[in-house]
A and B are shown apart, each in its own frame.
Chain A
Amino acid sequence: MSLKIVVLAKQVPDTRNVGKDAMTAEGTINRAALPAIFNPEDLNALEQALRLKESHPGSTVTLLTMGPGRAAEIIREGLYRGADGGYLLTDRAFAGADTLATSYALATAIRKIGEFDLIVGGRQAIDGDTAQVGPQVAEKLGLSQVTYAEEILDVDEAGKRVTIKRHIDGGVETVTAPLPLVITVNGSAAPCRPRNAKLVQKYKRALGAQEKAQIAKDGAALPYAGLYEERPYLNITEWSAADVDADLAQCGLNGSPTKVKTVQNISFQAKESKTMTGSDADVEGLIVELLANHTIG
């Protein structure tokens, strides 16, 4: 039984390593100062997909990501680790999407991909931490969902049902669910394998159309231009809203029921505080004070 697996992955700013330059003087985010990375939990999801591919010969793993032209990087990273191909959903019409408009766009692209048994993605992305896109994609496609998965344990011989271990509040549970199915994978699941050196060699020149255009715009000739006809797998497919027959009213800002009213840069409210050193006298003084006012003791 071979499986057709779609992995949803997102390129995100690395919000975990926010340095001093991450915020501008005006209090807006300086995206340029934040490196763009493969959303960590999407890597956990990719690993689950690659394991299924290994245990079910003939299976395919296809990445789907939405973002600007440079998000083709996500497809390459997936190819380096063993994915078979990928699609970059990219269009100005998708900009400003909240989770609902994002899941609408992804669902239309999945319909366009057509054949699939499993859709796997990370539980949530680190730039929003909402965990909403997985279940919303499931709902839009009319599929069952299993969220917070720790491990995909088994797909039965008939290819009808999947057994999954998942995290619940205060414990774990094991569920079985029918295919086709949407699964979101927790960060505590097995980490993703590293890049495979041979696959890096094979795919390192894989580029999306916008990336190629950017090279031309910078005035350079596309290196190894002939390769792209010779080896079609080096062309990362880009899909626009029109390519996936998306209804523009449901895309991007237009399709987002939530609106951002205000954004406030973090300004901590200072209160009166005592500053001291780590000297014996200071620490002892503090302990005595806390004991005296019954904060501790």
Chain B
Amino acid sequence: MNNVFVYLEIEGKTVADVSLELLTKGRKLASQLGCQLEAIAAGCGLEGIEKQVMPFGVDKLHIFDAEGLFPYTSQPHASILINLFKEEKPQICLMGATVIGRDLGPRVSSALTSGLTADCTALEIGDYEDKKAGKVYSDLLYQIRPAFGGNIVATIVNPEHRPQMATVREGVMKKEILDADYKGEVIRHDVARYVPEAEYVVKVIDRHVEKAKHNLKGASIVVSGGYGMGSREGFDMLFELARELHAEVGASRAAVDAGFADHDRQIGQTGITVRPKLYIACGISGQIQHIAGMQESSIIISINNDPNAPINTIADYVINGTVEEVIPKMIKYYKSHSK
């Protein structure tokens, strides 16, 4: 009762990184709250799945293994969570802010009338005083996220309703094994008891999952372009610089919206979160939603012809100049000095 739950996203038989990151965060929250960490695995052919998750400090793993639970469809997975939560009454439930998590979370929250905060960038435990009602709540989950197009950062709480639900994007939390030999309990549930047959109504008839075209998340250097790159051709310059530096190319939402770069390269709150050792922001003004996706880079270089661009305030190096002028020079001097 009143434990921290993490919904595990499983592609085939592999638990997604985002879920392991949330187990790491969930473990910390559970320890701080003095409760247990529980995880839910729903899929098909999940023998041995516990080996992937127990090292993250899972005290109890709920396994729902049945035909029809993979590939994911909304209702069966939602019913598993809704019915399990009615029995277990978790205080917190975390899931990935992935296509699956953002499909599943709202459906579950609606059925349980519990609050859900999407795309959190930080989760903390703290107190909340409702001055109007004159009530003080202790140990609530602070769900912190940029809002309003990234122009504000809001801390959201769910004082009265449980579970307190939040989704978090991949790469926002760190993944850390707690103890390779951590011993948790495994509970295999009778799926039919949780999911009525009538809920397997959406059928997946065709499915293509491709390996990502780039490795932005794992790159140690990211060259990223914004609206200031001016065009798709402008991005070619970034690809050239990236090739020299063995870097990956990212983009701001403005650049993606303008069609300068592909959607899967978007960095920020509604894209990928990166933590490279070097981040080169080219023609990026630095809206908070972009900052949210790259602020933990070790070194940030900003190239911008606007000396007042917000990103300059978090940059280690600010180059006041146009991208057309500066990037070819960087390529030139890198070539001449790196040999």
Q: Could you tell me which A residues sit within 8 Å of B by CB distance?
A: 13, 15-16, 18, 22-23, 29, 98-100, 103, 126-136, 138-140, 144-148, 163, 167-178, 188, 256-266, 268-280, 282-284, 286-288, 290-291, 295-297
Given A256-B115, A268-B314: A169 in contact with B98 (beta carbons within 8 A): yes
**Are A16's CB and B257's CB within 8 A?**
yes
Nearest chain A CB to B172's CB is how many angstroms away? 14
**Are B151's CB and A135's CB within 8 A?**
no
**Are B99's CB and A147's CB within 8 A?**
yes
- B207 interfacial by beta-carbon distance below 8 Å: yes
Nearest chain A CB to B58's CB is how many angstroms away? 23
The interface residues of chain A lying within 8 Å CB-to-CB of B100 are 168-169
The interface residues of chain B lying within 8 Å CB-to-CB of A128 are 118, 147-148
- The contact sample of 19 A-B pairs, CB cut-off 8 A, is A18-B287, A98-B115, A103-B106, A129-B118, A135-B104, A147-B103, A176-B205, A188-B263, A256-B115, A258-B117, A263-B152, A265-B152, A268-B314, A277-B321, A278-B319, A284-B337, A286-B330, A290-B278, A290-B299
Residues of B in contact (CB 8 Å), total 93
The interface residues of chain A lying within 8 Å CB-to-CB of B161 are 257
**Are A261's CB and B105's CB within 8 A?**
no
Encode B91-122 as 1/0 by CB contact (under 8 A) with A.
00000001110111111011101111111000
The interface residues of chain A lying within 8 Å CB-to-CB of B209 are 168-171
Specify the main secondary structure of chain A where it touches its partner: mixed
**Are B288's CB and A173's CB within 8 A?**
no
The interface residues of chain A lying within 8 Å CB-to-CB of B278 are 290, 295-296
Encode B264-290 as 1/0 by CB contact (under 8 A) with A.
000001100000011000000011100
**Are A278's CB and B103's CB within 8 A?**
no
**Are A140's CB and B202's CB within 8 A?**
no
Nearest chain B CB to A152's CB is how many angstroms away? 14
Given A264-B152, A280-B329, A296-B334: A173 in contact with B208 (beta carbons within 8 A): yes
**Are A140's CB and B110's CB within 8 A?**
yes
New A-B contacts (20) at CB < 8 Å, excluding given A171-B210, A257-B113, A291-B337 = A16-B149, A128-B147, A129-B147, A132-B118, A134-B106, A144-B74, A168-B209, A170-B210, A170-B212, A173-B71, A174-B205, A178-B201, A257-B160, A257-B161, A276-B319, A276-B320, A277-B320, A283-B319, A288-B333, A296-B334
The interface residues of chain A lying within 8 Å CB-to-CB of B257 are 16
**Are B329's CB and A132's CB within 8 A?**
no
Minimum CB distance partner of B202 in chain A: A177
- B317 interfacial by beta-carbon distance below 8 Å: yes
Nearest chain A CB to B250's CB is how many angstroms away? 16
**Are A174's CB and B337's CB within 8 A?**
no
Minimum CB distance partner of A168 in chain B: B99
**Are A268's CB and B102's CB within 8 A?**
no
Given A135-B74, A277-B319: A258 in contact with B102 (beta carbons within 8 A): no
Residues 291 to 339 of chain B near chain A (Cβ within 8 Å): 291, 299, 301, 303, 307, 310, 312-322, 325-326, 329-330, 333-334, 337-338
Tell me which of B109, B158, B161, B212 has the highest count of chain A C-beta atoms within 10 A of its own C-beta: B109
**Are B152's CB and A129's CB within 8 A?**
no
The interface residues of chain B lying within 8 Å CB-to-CB of A127 are 147-149
The interface residues of chain B lying within 8 Å CB-to-CB of A291 are 334, 337-338
- B181 interfacial by beta-carbon distance below 8 Å: no
The interface residues of chain B lying within 8 Å CB-to-CB of A178 are 201-202
CB within 8 A of B106: which of A132, A168, A270? A132
A99 and B116 alpha carbons, distance in the complex (Å): 8
A138 and B114 alpha carbons, distance in the complex (Å): 16
**Are A275's CB and B208's CB within 8 A?**
no
**Are B148's CB and A15's CB within 8 A?**
yes
A268 and B321 alpha carbons, distance in the complex (Å): 22
**Are A171's CB and B156's CB within 8 A?**
no
CB within 8 A of A261: which of B157, B207, B321, B337? B157
**Are B73's CB and A175's CB within 8 A?**
yes
**Are B147's CB and A266's CB within 8 A?**
no
Nearest chain B CB to A275's CB is how many angstroms away? 4
- B211 interfacial by beta-carbon distance below 8 Å: yes
Nearest chain B CB to A284's CB is how many angstroms away? 4
CB within 8 A of A131: which of B109, B111, B118, B263? B118
Given A171-B210, A261-B128: A274 in contact with B152 (beta carbons within 8 A): no
Minimum CB distance partner of A282 in chain B: B319
Minimum CB distance partner of A161 in chain B: B203
**Are A144's CB and B75's CB within 8 A?**
yes
**Are A260's CB and B155's CB within 8 A?**
yes
A169 and B14 alpha carbons, distance in the complex (Å): 14
Given A139-B107, A188-B263, A287-B333: A171 in contact with B149 (beta carbons within 8 A): no
The interface residues of chain A lying within 8 Å CB-to-CB of B75 are 144
